[in-house]
Structure 1
Amino acid sequence: MVFGTGGWRAIIGEGFSLANVRRLTQALANAIIRRGDEDCGALIGYDRRFLSDRAAEACAEVFAGNNIPVSFLPEPTPTPLVTFATAKQQAAYGLVFTASHNPPEYNGLKVFAKSGALLLAQETDDIESEANHLGAEDVVRIDLDVGLRSEIVARPTFANDYLDMVESKVDMAAIRAAGLATVIDPMFGVGKATLEVLLTEARCRVLTIHGRHDPLFGGRSPAPDLGALDSLRAAVRDGGFDVGMATDGDADRIAIIDERGEYVDINDLLLLLYFHLRQTRGMRGGVVRNLSTTQMLDRLAAHFGELCVETPVGFKHIVAGMQEHDALLGGESSGGLTIRGHILGKDGILGAALVVEMLAHSGKTVSALLDQVHNITGRLYIVEESIPATPQMRVIIPQRLRDGVTAQIGTHTVESVSNLDGTKVRLGQDHSVLIRFSGTEPVLRIQAEASSREECHELIGHIKAIAGIATA
């Protein structure tokens, strides 16, 4: 069992098994007992993936067997709701069984601290090490029915409290007055019910697609990327809707489609929301982004006289940066975001609420708002390639980059090289090229940002040559 940037993820039937779930839960229970935190209990949620409900039951049985009270949520639940409930209840740990946007053959686990933030690397390293040294004979558990009868396992719901909290962050009266027409695509995941209630209470007209339970997610990864949202684009365009919104499998990420049926790059979505919060709502504060997210956010923050902070990939680093700098918005190019005063984790449901508030307050279309923001920031484009990675590549490629990156990449002058997370080469005019290994999948990601897509492809070609990666 290995924790990455977004928790533990593995292929079902290989790394992800009920036996491993029990061992990992026992390690978490041991940590709670060592801290004397038993009375705080554990909170458990799960998504719609295959085996998620069974894994959550197995987890509850182990905590109960260790005499640790369990709040076991009664239905498939968005990850942001688990984050919220963990902090509200001050549980020793909050857990949600999900593999987020990974392909259907994966499952996994995210673990949250009392604050609702993801555990930091040192704690996950310790738990991972202990779990991997435990055997089946070290696991203490009782049957779930026994735990329910003895009331050490309870089945509370936090759905209404969570929705009340999200609604408190936006101007519901303005949204109700706007009469917006929306399409939502939960991608067969857990966002359906929560989004429908939120938008219905906001008096939006709501059409839902891909809302049924399908653990195969329609045969693709439940990631709200351009290639996965053709149906949402068509629904918005053909139905004359104001906006389409998609959440990933566990509803902590969001993507949107504009009124013309065009996909809005998530980097542009972050620009729109920061502009809305800072300009329209008049909220002060900077922005925190990870190093694979657009530097147009730096330009927009500078326009407002605010700070933009860069962090490693992993939303826990964004949260830490927001807390350190009292930032207004934190976001990443994969669709995760949160705002100051909200949960210490990414939230696609909140993202949807902010999008409809933005449209209601401005009275403009998404495309018109984006043109307005680009008039301030100018345009930068990002192109990314993903390459299957081997363990040997993790050793060889960083060595080649250390030796091969000099004063020039092609015609571009190298301004600086960062090894904060992978290797990021910064060039003039906010251009850059980043090469890093994913923390959630066995892939190498190569990303370039430049003033045109052609320049991006050129930069990717240069860095691949330096790294010794063959170009197809």
Structure 2
Amino acid sequence: MAPQRAQSSPTLTPTGPRAAVVLAAGNDDASRALLSQPLGDATVVETAVDNVRRIVDADRIVVVVAAGDRTVRDLLGDDLTYVEQAEACGTGDAALTARAAVLAALGDDAADASVLVAYADTPLLRSQSLRGLMTRHLLTGADLSLLSAVVDAPRATDGRIVRTDGEISAILEPEDRPDVEVDGPTEINVGAYVAAPGLLFDELDAMVADGENRLTELARRVIAHGRRISSYRIYDTDEVRGVNTDAELAEAADVVLKRLFMPKKNTDTKIVFGTGGWRAVIGEGYTLANVRRLCQAIANQVVRQGIETQGVVIGGDRRFLSRESAEAAAEVFAGNNIPVVLLPDDVPTPLVTFAAPHLGSALGIIITSSHNPPEWNGMKVFRADGSLPLDDETDRYQDEANALAVDDVITLDLALARRTGMVTDKVLTEPYVDAIEKIVDVDSVRGSDLRVIVDPMYGTSQLTLGTILNDMRVRSEFIHAAHNPLFGGIAPAPDLQRLSTLITMIEQGGGRYDLGMATDGDSDRIGIVDETGEYITTNDLLLLLFWYLHEVRGEKGGVVRNLATTHLLDRLAAHFGEESYECKVGFKHVTAGMEKIGAVLGGESSGGLTIRGWILGKDGIFACALVVEMLARTGKRISELREMIYEITGRLYTLEANVDSTPEMRVAVPRRLEAEPLTHVGPYPVVSVSHLDGTKILLENDNWALLRFSGTEPVLRMFVEADSPEKAAELLDWLKGFVTAGV
């Protein structure tokens, strides 16, 4: 009969005094050497002990090392306690060696404490699994608790768990079942234990005295004495892997790499900057607490630089929690004696980009998640000149923010901050519009009789863009202009798939509209639909504007594009005798490239662009105004301009696709690219391969294919450009086949 479940005490809670023993003595020199081998950003033993540190205070962790060993101590540091196992007499003897050190560390808490025993050669055990084991032990009131897992193919050395009426009634070691072949899904003993120190060390003492030195014997003895064992089951069987050979170390390295790309849930709500700021799901990574921590880290940097008197300007878009977040951010900066200009209405991101240099502020901050789905929010930070900070700067922000505790954040109540002048509410719509109208030729548009339809996608552009269009005397009609934090149930990205209403209205308008325009949720990206209802890619729009700026406005200079943007820009630049420059994805790289070569235009195929003399960030509102000016001054429609420019550059056809990138794919695809140097993509010879950002395969005649894992989403992005639509489709199919083969 299985032991009866112990009744938990009404006062039992899943917390209490705890200590840990980590067995790091190894069986021999080879196994000890493996403990110091690199695994991800640390070594095997550091990774294993770090997981224990997350649930047990360092001053109560005892590490058992081999006699005379210094390597493990040097790796782990002086804040842990070390004891030496005199001889390699087994894991039971090693754990017993830690008794005096554990009891000394626990002191008066020993009677109520729980002790975790873990192995240094199982670094893939997650801290959450160890926490689950400890919590299960305390909640169930068991005498001994262990980790278990169900594996499809148990190893010959695995102990098999037997249950009776759901309770563990036996653990069968290989010698207990010499004639039984274990096959199929089997529950095994993983080999981490929790028990009260009295039971643990008394049983180990008796066990070793009986000549049994294996720690796995502990559970069998507890069962034999009629005591109750509970278990916490691991479902990620990668955690079961030990590191006892070079081959197992290589497999563990793959697991560590794969985990880097797994979606983080409630176990990790760290602030991580991508190519366009910090973004996260609301209620998970995006919380007001994280907003405050990030603002405190940024405020710290402002103070270090001695520029706090310049202040900061803060705004928010129309997303859920944006207004509350902007006010929370203002309280943090004011609390750090940094004056704040708080923009009172929902505002476009480019207005904040403009506001920083306009006001002479140290930084501009906008609460937005750009074109992400409505369940996301985030933050973008701009330097004093309106440019995005580069990676080393955002790394400093995020690292410091993640290290801050809630109590480290300094705030000043918003009402008091307003009364004392530390927070000033200011509307900057007019200065922003006036600045645009100094660059865009408003007078040349008046009298053109243009009629446009605009889809702001429930975002923030209608006030500013509407004002500019009115000043131009352009007849404009706005759709989807209401304040809707759900954005109509879609991601507010101005691409072909999400502009169906705009396209349909133009197609059914009977020639009523000369142009359709769209901006994304925070108004820094543009989408264009021509007078026939055809969606115009940003690749084509950049071509049109580069030609217009150079040939009609007479603004000489080159062009900057990211590596996922059309090479027709290079052809047009060569035709003009100008320079073209390729950069990584991220608009901060575009503006840096523009400064480097003195470019007149910079842009990305995803919908962002700016020109020389305007802000150092993408601006969908300015771009819309410039397109309207282009139509008015040339007297041509978009379709006519495209055909005229194709006569200069020829045609290339672009396609793109995204596939969900599994963690396995993140590991396998780069490895295959390294192992199999490409000579052909299908029948087409490879000219060269660039690893500037992802893998870009360059073919003849400006044809190319790009594989790039997104820095902000679990997505692999694929782009191709080719001489014909058929060839582009062929290249894209080849990429899809390549990335999914063997994954």
Q: Same fold (TM over 0.5)?
A: yes
1:326 and 2:623 correspond: no
Residue 212 (structure 1) aligns with: 482
1:454 and 2:726 correspond: yes
Cα pair 1:410 1:459 within 8 Å, conserved: yes
Residue 442 (structure 1) aligns with: 714
Question: Secondary structure, in 3 states, of the residue corresponding to 1:284?
Answer: coil
Tell me the alpha carbon deviations over residues 285-326 of structure 1, each in whole angstroms, 9 at most, x when there is no partner. 110000000011111111111111100000000000000100
Residue 339 (structure 1) aligns with: 611
Whole-angstrom distance in 2 between the partners of 1:86 and 1:444: 34
When structure 1 is superposed on structure 2, of 388-397 and 11-20 the one drifting more is 388-397
Residue 284 (structure 2) aligns with: 14
Tell me the alpha carbon deviations over residues 11-46 of structure 1, each in whole angstroms, 9 at most, x when there is no partner. 000000001001001100111111111101111011
One-letter identity of the residue aligned with 1:426: L
Higher relative contact order (CA 8 A, sep 6+): 1
Residue 101 (structure 2) aligns with: none
One-letter identity of the residue aligned with 1:369: L
One-letter identity of the residue aligned with 1:195: L
Report matched runs for 1:216-365 at 5 Å: 216-239=486-509, 240-365=512-637
When structure 1 is superposed on structure 2, of 380-389 and 18-27 the one drifting more is 380-389
When structure 1 is superposed on structure 2, of 312-321 and 446-455 the one drifting more is 446-455
1:57 and 2:320 correspond: no
Whole-angstrom distance in 1 between the partners of 2:455 and 2:447: 24
Cα pair 1:163 1:194 within 8 Å, conserved: yes
Residue 404 (structure 2) aligns with: 134
- Quote the offset at 1:459 in angstroms: 1.6
Cα pair 1:400 1:468 within 8 Å, conserved: no
Residue 163 (structure 1) aligns with: 433
Residue 432 (structure 1) aligns with: 704
Whole-angstrom distance in 2 between the partners of 1:457 and 1:469: 18
Residue 4 (structure 1) aligns with: 274
Residue 638 (structure 2) aligns with: 366
One-letter identity of the residue aligned with 2:481: G
Whole-angstrom distance in 2 between the partners of 1:325 and 1:67: 39
Question: Secondary structure, in 3 states, of the residue corresponding to 2:533?
Answer: coil
1:118 and 2:401 correspond: no
1:66 and 2:354 correspond: no
Question: Secondary structure, in 3 states, of the residue corresponding to 1:272?
Answer: helix
When structure 1 is superposed on structure 2, of 461-470 and 313-322 the one drifting more is 461-470
Residue 681 (structure 2) aligns with: 409
One-letter identity of the residue aligned with 2:576: F
* Percent of residue pairs bearing the same amino acid type: 54
- Quote the offset at 1:233 in angstroms: 1.3
Cα pair 2:312 2:361 within 8 Å, conserved: yes
Tell me the alpha carbon deviations over residues 336-360 of structure 1, each in whole angstroms, 9 at most, x when there is no partner. 0000011000011111111111111
Instruction: Note the aligned Cα RMSD (angstroms).
Output: 1.2
- Quote the offset at 1:376 in angstroms: 1.1
When structure 1 is superposed on structure 2, of 248-257 and 395-404 the one drifting more is 395-404
1:152 and 2:415 correspond: no
Tell me the alpha carbon deviations over residues 437-465 of structure 1, each in whole angstroms, 9 at most, x when there is no partner. 11232211011111223222322232344
Tell me the alpha carbon deviations over residues 168-190 of structure 1, each in whole angstroms, 9 at most, x when there is no partner. 11211110121210111100000
One-letter identity of the residue aligned with 2:420: S
Cα pair 1:111 1:118 within 8 Å, conserved: yes
Q: Choose the corresponding residue for 1:418, options 672, 677, 690.
A: 690
Unaligned runs of 5+ in 1: none
Q: Choose the corresponding residue for 2:651, options 364, 375, 379.
A: 379
1:88 and 2:394 correspond: no
Asked which structure has the greater CA Rg, the reply is 2
1:46 and 2:316 correspond: yes
One-letter identity of the residue aligned with 1:447: F
- Quote the offset at 1:143 in angstroms: 1.4
Report matched runs for 1:183-194 at 5 Å: 183-194=453-464
* TM-score w.r.t. length of structure 2: 0.62
Cα pair 2:665 2:739 within 8 Å, conserved: no
Q: Is the alpha carbon distance of 1:29 and 1:197 closer, same or farther for their aligned partners in structure 2, counting shifts above 3 Å? A: same
- Quote the offset at 1:377 in angstroms: 1.2
Cα pair 1:286 1:329 within 8 Å, conserved: yes
When structure 1 is superposed on structure 2, of 231-240 and 154-163 the one drifting more is 231-240
1:395 and 2:667 correspond: yes
Cα pair 1:405 1:466 within 8 Å, conserved: no
Whole-angstrom distance in 1 between the partners of 2:468 and 2:314: 23
One-letter identity of the residue aligned with 1:4: G
Question: Secondary structure, in 3 states, of the residue corresponding to 2:508?
Answer: helix
Tell me the alpha carbon deviations over residues 78-107 of structure 1, each in whole angstroms, 9 at most, x when there is no partner. 111100001112212110000000111110
Whole-angstrom distance in 1 between the partners of 2:585 and 2:563: 7
Question: Secondary structure, in 3 states, of the residue corresponding to 2:377?
Answer: strand
Question: Secondary structure, in 3 states, of the residue corresponding to 2:602?
Answer: strand
Whole-angstrom distance in 1 between the partners of 2:593 and 2:303: 30
Question: Secondary structure, in 3 states, of the residue corresponding to 1:197?
Answer: helix
Whole-angstrom distance in 2 between the partners of 1:113 and 1:337: 18
Q: Is the alpha carbon distance of 1:165 and 1:390 closer, same or farther for their aligned partners in structure 2, counting shifts above 3 Å? A: same
One-letter identity of the residue aligned with 2:311: G
Whole-angstrom distance in 2 between the partners of 1:365 and 1:470: 48
Tell me the alpha carbon deviations over residues 395-447 of structure 1, each in whole angstroms, 9 at most, x when there is no partner. 33212112223221111111111000000000001110100011232211011
Whole-angstrom distance in 2 between the partners of 1:125 and 1:415: 35
Whole-angstrom distance in 2 between the partners of 1:9 and 1:391: 20
One-letter identity of the residue aligned with 1:171: D
- Quote the offset at 1:392 in angstroms: 4.0
Residue 104 (structure 1) aligns with: 374
When structure 1 is superposed on structure 2, of 156-165 and 317-326 the one drifting more is 156-165
Unaligned runs of 5+ in 2: 1-270
Question: Secondary structure, in 3 states, of the residue corresponding to 2:345?
Answer: coil
One-letter identity of the residue aligned with 1:389: S
Question: Secondary structure, in 3 states, of the residue corresponding to 1:430?
Answer: coil
- Quote the offset at 1:142 in angstroms: 1.7
* TM-score w.r.t. length of structure 1: 0.98
